[in-house]
């Protein structure tokens, strides 16, 4: 089994791993057909922000979802209906545009499966809606049902480590997707439990060539209207995109900032994660800052109102999903866990039950410290109530990180 190739610990050979986001290797999609070490994958793929498809045999073969949700290489509808049919799931209509995405409603899984079978049996007629089950937080809804194990390559997952560790938040970025043969700045990985997908990936910056004259991204990256130069003045500059066909049992890694579009070529079930770690935490911070600038520009006319900065933070939370306070709490949570491991030698169980090694913990703490320094130097925080009220907590955290890193790097 593939899992026997690895230990239960994720570790790096050296905590001084360079981020080579400008690597020439990104001129092609990396295809991995045989197991490689966690360290090699981390340096060559994750830290280089390079797209990759894993075709390693038996990578997801042992998953409960692979064994119980599939029959004859197709979705096992009767099992899914019997087991989960009464639960409501989020379903998007791919034919119905809603704020440059698809409109989502909640229906019972039984009803979705009934539609799915009917749609497939009729040959996917164009006069029927094209529905797609997306963003179903299955692990959160069924915490006792371990339908998959996070592949070791993706075990360094700060975001889900934080969200699953902070039970008061009641959220995560772990999803199940299901749908008939044809939808649409973190990392993401996607494993095909069954079925086949076609992916289009666009390197960072290329998405700007898909914007119309008003700055809005095209709803469909293959739509004929993109050739209208009056409406899409930069489309002719588009280059460097990749196409990937992902089959059952294969896992794709989509790096930070890579715009992508997906089609189901067959009836498909996939499991997906969005996540952040030490390799792209700086990218997340940059995106948070840029989104705050956009919010401030939107409400600039109200700058003189009392509490304007705090209101901007509320808007940032609503539009981006996180604001400065939550970003700090996120960093604080991860830092505290790494400090506890390095300073007190308390075992640090990562998200997905993986353990973290010493060099990896140091790497995490170094990257976190760099971004924490940027946050605490940001001129916006002196106007935000949260940072005015926490006293010396932020500086104390930074001092704890500095002293711990000084101690552990002397012996590493």
Q: Which of 162, 191, 196 is nearest to 179 (CA)?
A: 196
pLDDT (tens digit per residue) in 265-310: 999 999 998 889 999 999 999 999 999 999 999 999 999 999 999 9
Q: Does residue 6 surpass a pLDDT of 80?
A: no
The radius of gyration of the chain's CA atoms, rounded to the nearest angstrom, is 22
Where are the chain's structural domains? 2-11+28-203+240-275, 281-409
Q: How far apart are CA 96 and CA 263, in angstroms?
A: 16
Q: Give the per-residue pLDDT at 364.
A: 96
**pLDDT, averaged across the chain:** 88
Which CATH fold topology does 2-11+28-203+240-275 show?
A: Jelly Rolls (2.60.120)
Q: Which residue has the higher pLDDT, 357 or 343?
A: 357
pLDDT at 33: 97
Distance, CA of 320 to CA of 261 (rounded, Å): 20
What does pTM read for this prediction?
Answer: 0.89
How far is 353 from 294, CA to CA, in rounded Å?
38
- pLDDT digits over 40-56, tens only? 999 999 999 999 999 99
Residue 299's CB is within 10 A of a number of other CB atoms, namely 13
What number is the average pLDDT over the span 381-403? 93
Residue 19 has pLDDT above 80, yes or no: no
Predicted confidence (pLDDT) at residue 184 exceeds the cutoff of 60: no
Residue that the structure tokens 């930074």 belong to: 398
How many other CB atoms are found less than 10 A from the CB of residue 186?
19
Cα separation, 143 vs 148, in Å, equals 12
> How far is residue 322's CA from residue 201's CA, in Å, rounded to a whole number?
26
Residue 316: how many CA atoms within 13 Å on its side-chain side?
26
- DSSP assignment letter at 319: H
């Amino acid at each position: 089994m593939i899992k026997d190739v690895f230990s239960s610990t994720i570790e790096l050979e050296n905590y001084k791993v360079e981020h080579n986001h400008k690597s020439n290797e990104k001129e092609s999609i990396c295809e991995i057909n045989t197991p490689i070490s966690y360290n090699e994958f981390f340096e060559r793929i994750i830290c280089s922000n390079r797209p990759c498809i894993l075709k390693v045999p038996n990578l997801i073969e042992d998953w409960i979802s692979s064994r119980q949700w599939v029959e004859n290489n197709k979705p096992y509808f009767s099992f899914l209906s019997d087991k989960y049919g009464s639960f409501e799931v989020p379903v998007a209509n791919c034919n119905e545009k809603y704020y440059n995405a698809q409109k989502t409603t909640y229906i019972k899984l039984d009803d979705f499966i009934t539609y799915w079978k009917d749609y497939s049996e009729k040959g996917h007629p164009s006069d029927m809606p094209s529905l797609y089950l997306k963003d179903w937080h299955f692990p959160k809804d069924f915490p006792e049902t371990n339908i998959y194990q996070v592949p070791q390559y993706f075990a360094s997952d700060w975001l889900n480590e934080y969200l699953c560790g902070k039970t008061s938040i009641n959220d995560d970025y772990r999803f199940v997707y299901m749908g008939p043969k044809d939808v649409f700045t973190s990392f993401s990985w996607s494993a095909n439990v069954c079925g086949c997908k076609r992916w289009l990936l666009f390197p960072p910056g290329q998405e700007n060539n898909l914007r119309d004259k008003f700055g809005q991204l095209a709803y469909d990256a293959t739509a004929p209207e993109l050739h209208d130069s009056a409406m899409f003045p930069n489309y002719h500059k588009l280059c460097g995109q990749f196409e990937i066909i992902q089959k059952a049992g294969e896992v794709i890694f989509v790096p930070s900032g890579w715009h992508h579009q997906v089609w189901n070529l067959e009836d498909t079930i996939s499991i997906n994660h969005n996540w952040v770690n030490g390799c792209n935490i700086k990218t997340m911070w940059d995106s948070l800052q840029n989104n705050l600038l956009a919010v401030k520009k939107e409400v600039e006319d109200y700058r003189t109102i009392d509490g304007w900065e705090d209101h901007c933070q509320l808007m940032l939370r609503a539009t981006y999903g996180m604001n400065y306070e939550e970003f700090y709490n996120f960093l604080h949570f991860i830092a505290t866990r790494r400090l506890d491991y390095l300073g007190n030698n308390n075992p640090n169980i990562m998200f997905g039950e993986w353990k973290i090694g010493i060099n990896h913990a140091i790497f995490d703490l170094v990257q976190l410290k760099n971004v924490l320094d940027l946050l605490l130097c940001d001129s916006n925080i002196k106007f935000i109530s949260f940072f005015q009220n926490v006293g010396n907590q932020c500086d104390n955290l930074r001092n704890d990180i500095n002293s711990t890193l000084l101690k552990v790097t002397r012996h590493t």
